[in-house]
Amino acid sequence: MTHGRLWIFLVVLLAASMAPLLLLDLDRAGQLASALALPLAVLIYALSTIPLKGKGAIPWRKLSVVGAIVIAALGGTGVLYAAWQNTRDLPVDFPDGEGGTWKDGYHVLVPVPGSPPERGRLTMSATLDNVNKTGDCEQTATLEYTPVLDGRPQPSTSAEPGREVDLSLAGVVKKAEVRITLHYDSGNTNCAVNLYLGEAVLHD
C-alpha cells in the first residue's frame, strides 16, 4: 500500500469511527473524551501498519497495537456508560404535602424537573389522607392528572388514589407541569383530605 492510499484509508477509518459522537450529549466533556478515544485508537492502530526501517528501529508497531486496544477499551466503556446515563430512569422528588386541606374540585400544578425534562414520560402517583377520623373520603375520590406542556394542557388520565399513572411529556420544549385535580361523586363533595405525592420516575 502506498503512503497516499494509506492516508486515505486512515481518513476514512477516522471519519467512520466518529459515529459515536452523534449519539452523545456533547455538552458533557467526559462523554466527548470517551468518544474521541475510539477514533484515536483507530488512528494509532492504523499507524502501526507502516513498515519499520532498520534493525535498530523502536518496536512501536507492537506498542501502537497495545495502546490502540487499551484506548479503544476505555473509549468503548465510556460510550456504554454515556448511553446508560442518557437512557436510565430518573427518580423525581416531590414535596411531601401539596396545598394543605383539599376538597372536591381542588387542583395543584406540580412542576416536572428539567427545562425541558430529560425523559419523554413521567410515572407518578398520589395518595389521600382523610382529615376527619371517620368516613372513607380517601378511598372514594378520583384524581385527574393533566400534563401541561409549555402552558398547553394535554389529554388527562384519571386514577384512584395510590394508583400509578404514566403520562406522556412528548413535545415539550421548555417547561412541563402536571395538574392534579381532586374529584368526588355528588354524595361526597363535602370530604376534606390531605394529598401526598408518591414516588415518581422520568423515563422513556
19-31 pLDDT per residue, tens:
555 555 544 545 5
- Whether residue 161 has pLDDT greater than 90: yes
Whether 85 has a pLDDT exceeding 90, the answer reads no
Q: Please tell me the predicted confidence (pLDDT) of residue 187.
A: 73
Three-class SS of residue 45?
helix
- Average of pLDDT values for 2-24? 51
Most confident among 8-17, 76-85, 115-124, 132-141 (mean pLDDT): 115-124
Burial of 128 (0-12, 13-18, 19+ CB in 10 A): buried
pLDDT at 152: 96
Going along the chain, which residue ranges are E strands? 90-92, 101-102, 107-111, 121-124, 126-130, 142-149, 152-153, 157-159, 165-168, 176-183, 193-197, 200-203
Q: Which of 24-28, 80-84, 99-103 has the highest mean pLDDT?
A: 99-103
Per-residue confidence band for 90, with pLDDT thresholds at 50, 70 and 90: confident
Name the grid cell of 34: 470517551
More confident position, 64 or 183: 183
Choose between 133 and 76: higher pLDDT.
133
Question: For residue 138, is pLDDT > 70?
Answer: yes
Confidence (pTM):
0.63
More confident residue, 106 or 74: 106
Q: Which residues pair with 130 in a beta bridge?
A: 193
CB atoms within 10 A of CB 104: 18
Burial of 39 (0-12, 13-18, 19+ CB in 10 A): buried
